[in-house]
Homo-oligomer: A and B are copies of this chain.
Amino acid sequence: MRDLTHFFNPGRVAVIGASKTPGKVGNSILKNIIESGYKGEIYPINPGESEILGLPCKKNIGEIPGTDLAIICVPAALVAQIVEECGKAGTGNIIVISAGFKEVGKEGAALEDKIVELCRRYGMNMMGPNCLGMVDTHVPLNASFAPDMPAKGEIAFISQSGAFGTAILDWSLNNNVGFSKFVSLGNKADLDEIDFIENAADDPNTRVILCYLESITQGKRFLEVVGKATRKKPVLILKSGTSEAGVRAASSHTGALAGNDRAYDAAFVQTGVLRVETAQELFDLALAFTTQPLPKGKRVALITNAGGPGIVATDAVERMGLEMARFDPATVKELREKLPAESNVYNPVDVIGDARPERYELALNIVLHDPNVDTGLVIVTPQAQTNPPGVADVILKVKASRPEKPLLVCMVGGRRTSEGVEKLTSAGMPCFVFPERAVSAIAGLTRYASMLVEPPEEVAFEFPADQARVRAILESVRADKRNTLLGTETAQVARAYGIKAAPSCLAKTPDEAAEIAEDLGFPVALKIASPKILHKTDVGGVKLKLDTVGKVREGFVEIIENVEAHMQDARIYGVEVQHMMPPGRELIIGMVRDLQFGPMLMFGLGGIYVNLLKDVSFRLAYGLRKQDVEAMVRETKAYTLLRGFRGEAPADIPAVEDTLIRVARLARDFPEILEMDINPLFAYEAGKGVSAIDMKITIS
């Protein structure tokens, strides 16, 4: 982990390119540092000035050796020289605000590479370039040119967009939201979101980590590091750019179905990141996490003074995978005794329209006491007798007496509820206007809590595998100037990694084919072995269910004739003789290589249904946990088929999972394997294993 202690909490800060001119970045940043109440030493650096904003000016960073943090806001062309000066002066950390690097093209990218190289050489941490700076409200230090200092709080907010960052800081000032840290990533040339997430996970002032990201470049490192961070604190990510389509031509089913966004989804699932869809959700959840304990389970109790919003909230509870709590009989009994006769004493509890604060308090205390309730949601509508500020008071009182149970509030209203809302939010209780958003926040809390109680178990990949054999096959394929393997070659690769494949062998003559067929056992299938031919059946290159030596000989000759008639120029390697396995449930297991995250596995219904039904799931081979392998199978409708559909015996699910793990290791061990498709993989009854019938491998 990078040590960012003195980055966020420097003893001495220099602003290189500080300016006297209001409105200039070099002026705004210096002003922000001063006004943020920063207690350390501040040095403006500008060779042409003797004093700026009342502080004596230095000519260059060399005059203040060993500075913890230098903020650089000089034109791009000068940055490399300044960075080198910083390095020589023993500066620990730098923030490069200046733009004009990778984002403007090739030349800028070269400049950026150069400053990264300098940082490495001198052992400096760098944030940026092309960023807004950072804020730490606890130090306090506003080393950014964001126009306002955000309020102190427990949310670390990491943004890849500077403008989005400032917009959110501005929004926060009107919405009772505070931050521990704000980080503008800029071009992420050195320090990136992974470093800041790792750091914030250990920051005592931070309770929840929020990111707005447009890309993750170090996928494998992300999987390793962020998976650990989420065990310590919730990490919420709004990842934009989901519509950006992966335009690479795919040669496999898996490639056709997998997109870059699938890889991000898998990465977030495997690391325990909570992915949100909207900026609104990001902050709704952040507020819930910073103010509430984690629920013990997914059972929600609603207390409302109106039926309508109660039903709306109940719908949302079900839609978002939560459960309506079923009260203990004692709870129902007590509610019935103490509430008016017209109240509904089952969940959702309706304290009815004339409920005053005392009745809310009564109901809340009873309901939150119920061991079958994991989270409470109070809904308040402003009716004639309702006293929203009074209800807010009793909510805070009940909350204080039961700090261990999450309790969220929804005040549906505006003018008549504003005082109550203000009471709640200024006391640190988030308050939502519409019930669905409150329920969505509960769903986020619950999802994170359930993840925490399920410790991740990395797949060990501890099985014997004949790597040398695979290496030899791949080398021979490359020597043959091919990038796809023959069926007989993929079968050998499969066997080397313990993947059960239908026995097969390449025959060069009809006699050889007949001999092999006798060896493998009848019936057999014959398939033309010619890597250029994609649709073997269309050119008469396949014969199935041959059960005598004579038919095999004939079949061999016919196949060669057919193929030669259709495709004169196809190079024919012979005919593959494959023992025909008994039919099983048809599945697909595949792999494609994602640019950011490396090998990505696919599982689903196989056969012709792959493209029709697109019933598939994805996970990444790195950061692969046992629960991911299980979940991949369970997420699909294929699982219903495997469990035993319409009276069939269950299939050998452990063998399917084992095959996934073996494919994952094969992809990890051989980066030159770009894509794999096992389609179909036949799954047999429990205990009887699986069989890879057709397997395709493409290498680079």
Contacts and interface: CB of A to CB of B under 8 A. Distances in A.
A412 B171 contact: yes
A683 to B, nearest CB: 15
A689 to B, nearest CB: 23
A415 B148 CA distance: 10
A503 interface: no
A315 interface: yes
Contacts of A383: 147, 163, 166
Contacts of A249: 307, 310-311, 314, 348
A164 B637 contact: no
Interface in A177-217: 212, 214
Interface string A420-452: 000000000000011111000000000000000
A504 interface: no
A309 interface: yes
Given A241-B315, A319-B243, A307 B412 contact: no
A212 B435 CA distance: 14
B311 A414 contact: no
A contact residues, range: 35 or more
Interface in A266-313: 277-280, 305-312
A371 interface: no
A111 interface: no
A477 to B, nearest CB: 28
A417 interface: yes
Contact of A415 (B159, B173, B214, B385): B173
Contacts of A280: 433-434, 436-437
Contacts of A640: 612
A413 B173 CA distance: 9
Contacts of A164: 306, 308-309, 312, 381, 412
Given A306-B163, A381-B163, A608-B646, A416 B170 contact: yes
A645 B607 CA distance: 13
Contacts of A582: none
B278 A436 contact: yes
B414 A171 contact: yes
A616 to B, nearest CB: 13
A544 interface: no
Interface stretch (A12-20, A69-77, A250-258, A391-399): A250-258
A301 to B, nearest CB: 12
Contact of A612 (B172, B253, B317, B637): B637
Contacts of A413: 167, 170-171
A414 B167 CA distance: 8
Interface of A: 23, 28, 104, 145, 147-148, 159-168, 170-175, 212, 214, 238, 240-246, 249-250, 252-254, 277-280, 305-312, 314-315, 317-319, 324, 342, 344, 346, 348, 350, 353, 381-385, 412-418, 433-437, 608, 611-613, 615, 637, 640-641, 645-646
14 contacts: A23-B384, A161-B306, A161-B309, A166-B383, A168-B412, A170-B417, A241-B315, A245-B317, A253-B308, A279-B312, A280-B436, A280-B437, A613-B613, A613-B637
